[in-house]
Amino acid sequence: MKAAYAVFRHELRLLASLVLWAARRTRGTGVRFGYARGQGAMMSGLAFVCVIETVGMAVLLRNWPAVHLVVLVLDVYTVLFVIGLHAASVVHPHLLTPDALHVRNGVRLDLRIPLDAIRAVRRETRYLHEKTAGELDVPIGSQTSVTLELAEPVAHFSLLGRRQEVRVVRFHADDATDLVRQLTAARRLTAARRLTQARSAPSSSPGRPPSAAPAAVRPAGEVRRPRSGL
């Protein structure tokens, strides 16, 4: 039941992405880094093939109106699904906020990685990705261009809710060089801010030293007599 709900929710979010894409809007606030350009040609070609198939099936089934209607609905939905996949990638870019990096892949993935958890970041183009425990690959057009090494594991949940602890994340960005540069600057700024906060934090003061016992007070008019040497 949970799997069916997750798939249904995914389909609704794809349709919502179509609306946002038509309105030229994106989701999330922060510095945006697109990644859909790497799959634009492939998705356009796939959508074109689906349209040709829809027209061909309409011609072949013109003498069976009932069957034609069912197949037409399925074909139109398939075209919308393919376009929605691309639209979701456009309206859900990677986001860099003051405290975290959000690695996204359409509506299927939104992995929040705190800047403090990133140990290293580098630009690295890879086309072959083998499944390895503790590593998450998010290829676009079969390639990744940025690699993150984490100082502590981050929890990733799949579309069906499966949990995985990852320490290495590879993903693609249209301008990977700019993403690496800005992410490095944001990490340095975060480290400097935390260092400043640590220095300005009030330190624990040592215990108050015990005060000396007050001297005895003589009554008024009393004169101290010198001691005799005898």
Q: Where are the alpha helices (DSSP H) in the chain?
A: 2-22, 40-60, 65-91, 176-200
pLDDT band at 230 (very low <50, low <70, confident <90, very high): very low
Please state, for a pLDDT cut of 70, what percent of the chain lies above it: 87
Query: What pLDDT was estimated at residue 129?
Result: 79
Residues 179 and 28: their CA atoms lie apart, in Å, by 17
pLDDT above 80 for 57: yes
Tens digit of each residue's pLDDT (9 = 90 or more) over 160-211: 888 999 999 999 999 999 999 999 999 998 888 877 777 776 655 555 555 5
Q: Which CATH class is domain 94-198?
A: mainly beta
Task: Locate CATH 2.30.29 in the chain.
Answer: 94-198
Strands laid side by side in the 163-171 sheet: 118-126, 144-157, 163-171, 135-138
Most confident of 58-67, 103-112, 152-161: 103-112
Tens digit of each residue's pLDDT (9 = 90 or more) over 108-155: 999 999 999 999 999 999 987 788 888 999 999 889 999 999 999 999
pTM for this prediction: 0.78
Query: What pLDDT was estimated at residue 208?
Result: 54
